[in-house]
Chain A
Amino acid sequence: MIQVSELTKRYAGHTAVAGISFHVQRGEIVGLLGPNGAGKSTTMRILTGFLPATHGKVRVAGFDVATESAEVRRRIGYMPENNPLYPEMRVREYLKFRARLKGLPRARANARVDVVLQQCSLTEVSRKTIGHLSKGYRQRVGLADALVHEPELIILDEPTIGLDPNQIRSVRQLIKDLSPKHTILISTHLLHEAELTCHRMIILREGKIIAAGTPDSLQQSVRQSLKVIAELAAPEAELKQCWEQLPEVALFDIVATDNGFHRCALTPHGGADLRPQVFALAKQRGWTLRELTRNRHSLEDIYVRLTRRHEEEEEEF
């Protein structure tokens, strides 16, 4: 669906995207992940034909973005960053306008507007002025606009930014529901977001791809750093002694919590799962164990490590 090869974008004085290549298959949900300024929005703007590339080839649905821009734009539903809308228009009126602008015949436009209003739960606000809507509703209007002409490819730039957790959840569900019929490219700077919605992630930093793959494969690559969290009711000194004696524990950290419990974060050597050992130890010593988990935030760790590396290097100098 998307073929990007050696894409470079230079603005006067700096390089926003530096020779990235990736492919997106039909029906996939792919997340472009990276800190602010990594080149996510620039990449999306080039994909949608809004900006030209400095170098490189970009093809969407078999059409060249630079030379067959109109064909490409017909097949893309795009929601830019910050979801710009016309505040003076009413929801239905706006969607109707966008549908007609994208070339749908009148009857088809009306029918599609009804469908997307339903799909994005906008029916009850369809007669309201966009400027008076809450941020969550406005975001859904932007999504409805991206969907209204049934595009093959949907590109969403930071679709959940600035929403409250409930709204984020509903937008995320909406995106997931679209996935078998549409190919979706979303950008986010939140790893958690990408992990929950995307089949595949592409992590960008300073205009370069620094990692790519499925959430599982990325997790595999960092299995060794999977931490185990255990909350035990035991004296701190005793805990400390235990962890020091366990050969599998590489690093540990103990924090006192309430009622004599201690929260221990244990980093194992070589990807070992420490949970059975912790449980056995608690049983043997008669400690109360109230939590035992393997840290699920390890992806966040690599993300932070990958994307922060440069800043740290700079600090060292």
Chain B
Amino acid sequence: MQAYLTLTRRELAAYLNSMTGYVVIAAAVFLTGLSFTVLLLKLQDTPTPAPLTELFFATPFFWLIILLAAPVITMRLFAQERFAGTFETLMTAPVSDLQVVLAKFTAAWLFYLLMWLPLLASSFILRRFTSLPAALDAGTLGGAFLGIALLGGVFVAGGLLASAVTRSQIIAAMLCLVGGVTLFLLSFLGDRVDAISTRLAQVCNHLNLFDHMNDFARGVVDTRPVVFLLSLTALFLFLTLRVLESRRWR
């Protein structure tokens, strides 16, 4: 437990003690701010009777941020340690592979959540300056943040896996980006393959991250997507652990 907490703290400090962390947060703030502005200008033209959170997550903006942020946050986790050789000092300390994987995941995921905090601020600013309190309520906001946290788990764990398989941060980032975009695009496959095979369509519908997120953003928390996202996260973490262990039998 001590090793896990010590490692998590160091990993988190690595984001916050370097420029990278602040650049990522600044970029996320800029993009969320820009998305909100665009969204509000659009709403001025065509009033829409839907909660703002739902509208935000239905735009490509949100997905653009999450798909870009995940690789940037996760690419250094293992690749950099392998490249610099610190992987050796780390793994020869009395820590288990599982502790290392979980600590790195926790730190990256916490940082990812930190990155989304400005979104909360934007929501409050909006509420302050609009006359409609119904535009934003605790339920939808809570649902939206639960969705962000769960989706983040999947993307951060996927990025961790990508970072574990290579020494190159660029390759890790590319793998994570391609994986993330693929997962995202599967959301749109369901409607199209219906004609070919209903079974395939069912599978695609389960993988439909886009719709899952929309549900969360409306404040609808269904256990199925929650379990699905959690198990996908666990699967990626398990695979990362296997990759780390592979140096023992390769």
Contact = CB atoms under 8 A, between A and B. Distances in A.
A101 interface: yes
Contacts of B95: 101
Interface of A: 45, 48-52, 70, 73-74, 76, 78-82, 84-86, 88-89, 97-98, 100-103, 145
A82 B247 CA distance: 21
21 contacts: A50-B88, A50-B91, A51-B247, A70-B94, A70-B96, A76-B92, A78-B89, A78-B92, A80-B89, A80-B92, A85-B89, A86-B10, A86-B86, A89-B13, A98-B93, A100-B2, A101-B6, A101-B93, A101-B94, A102-B94, A103-B2
A84 B249 contact: no
B7 interface: yes
B96 A102 contact: no
Interface string B1-44: 01100110110011001100000000000000000000000000
Contacts of A88: 14, 17-18
B248 interface: yes
Give chain B's interface residue range (CB within 8 Å of chain A): 20 to 34
A100 B87 CA distance: 17
Given A70-B96, A101-B95, A102-B93, A80 B3 contact: no
B84 interface: yes
Nearest to B93: A101
Contact of A84 (B9, B13, B84, B93): B84
A53 to B, nearest CB: 11
Given A89-B17, A102-B93, A103-B94, A84 B2 contact: no
Nearest to A52: B248
Given A74-B94, A80-B89, A88-B14, 5 more contacts: A50-B91, A88-B18, A89-B17, A100-B2, A145-B89
A288 to B, nearest CB: 56
Contacts of B139: none
Closest 8 CB pairs of A and B: A84-B85, A100-B6, A73-B94, A84-B86, A48-B92, A74-B94, A80-B88, A78-B92
Contacts of B94: 70, 73-74, 101-103
